[in-house]
Amino acid sequence: MSDAVGVLILDEPQDLCPTFRATLEHLPALQTVTEADLAAGWTGPAVAVVFLDEGRLGDGLARIVSLRDRLPALRILAAFQALTSQDLKALLTAGADAVMARSAAPREICTAVLALAEGAACLVAETEVQPESGEALGLTPREAEVLRFLSAGFSNKEVARRLALSVRTVETHRLNLRRKTQTGRLKDLVTLARQLGLAPVVEGERGRSSRH
């Protein structure tokens, strides 16, 4: 069995950069595989590169969910043409581990594949995602502020202390965030906070003193 990272390419578009496969096959650390190879007992790390059709995002989401169910150890990179923050949230919820623009250089995509195979956390090409505001997601200013602190890894109790709120109020805001964003995973909250342009929490920072 090869020590290379297995790369499963799915829904490859006809207009894909012709050097993508050439670059992929030139790198000894990577080896293209099929779903049958993975199902037959591929023992090394493997990454699926799923190309998304801009007008059929639902098909791509279904594909990712299916892969995650059948091959839980597989890392998944979704390559897109255009993406909103709402689309990004849906992809992460479906199980994508990385999101990159199809226009990225082939070597950049290969580098992301290797990083995922080595255990990298969620990778997002932030500059390629069309930004949205918190208002577009229906977030109140206070919910956006709570999101900032949650995405920084603070517990409900710590957020309550820093924002001068009760723990129960923070829990309510967190439930509202889960309902409006359809996710509660930390990595998704971190990504969402970045996409909304929320400033990182600095050491010792406290929020506004007004209670909401």
Helical pair 141-151 and 156-163, crossing angle rounded to 10 deg: 130
Residue 102: per-residue pLDDT: 80
pLDDT tens digits along 72-87:
999 999 988 777 777 8
Where in the chain are the domains? 5-128, 135-195
In the three-class reduction of DSSP (H, G, I as helix; E, B as strand; rest coil), residue 134 is classed as coil
Q: What percent of the chain has pLDDT over 70?
A: 82
Residues ≥6 apart with Cβ < 8 Å to 66: none
pLDDT of residue 195: 67
Write down the pLDDT at residue 75.
93
User: Is CATH 1.10.10.10 correct for 135-195?
Assistant: yes
Distance CA(191)–CA(123), nearest Å, equals: 9
Q: Is the pLDDT of residue 100 over 80?
A: yes
Is a pLDDT exceeding 90 seen at residue 5? yes
13-33: average pLDDT: 84
Residue 117 CA to chain centroid, in angstroms? 15
Question: What is the reported pLDDT for 169?
Answer: 93
Cβ 109 vs Cβ 79: under 8 Å: yes
**Percent of the chain as helix, strand, coil, to the nearest 5:** 45, 15, 40
> With bands split at pLDDT 50, 70 and 90, how would you rate the model's confidence at 46?
very high
Whether the pLDDT of residue 191 is over 50: the answer is: yes
Lowest pLDDT segment from 12-16, 113-117, 128-132, 191-195? 128-132
13-17, 46-50, 133-137: range with lowest mean pLDDT? 133-137
CA end-to-end distance (rounded Å), the chain: 59
Quick one: average pLDDT of 49-62? Answer: 88
Of 2 and 146, the one with more pLDDT: 146
Residue 130 DSSP class: B
CA 200 to chain centre: 18
Which of 44-53, 56-65, 124-133, 148-157 is the least confident region?
Answer: 124-133
142, 169 Cβ separation under 8 angstroms: no
For the range 30-34, what are the long-range contacts, defined as Cβ-Cβ under 8 Å and sequence gap of 24 or more? 30/4, 30/5, 30/110, 30/113, 30/114, 31/2, 31/4, 31/5, 31/6, 31/7, 32/6, 32/7, 32/8, 33/6, 33/7, 33/8, 34/8
Q: Is pLDDT at 163 greater than 90 in this prediction?
A: no
CATH architecture group of domain 5-128: 3-Layer(aba) Sandwich (3.40)
Q: In the structure, what pLDDT confidence band is assigned to residue 64 with cuts at 50, 70 and 90?
A: very high
Across the range 94-117, mean pLDDT stands at: 86
Q: How far is residue 99 CA from its own chain's centroid? A: 6
CA 162, distance to chain mean position in Å, is: 28
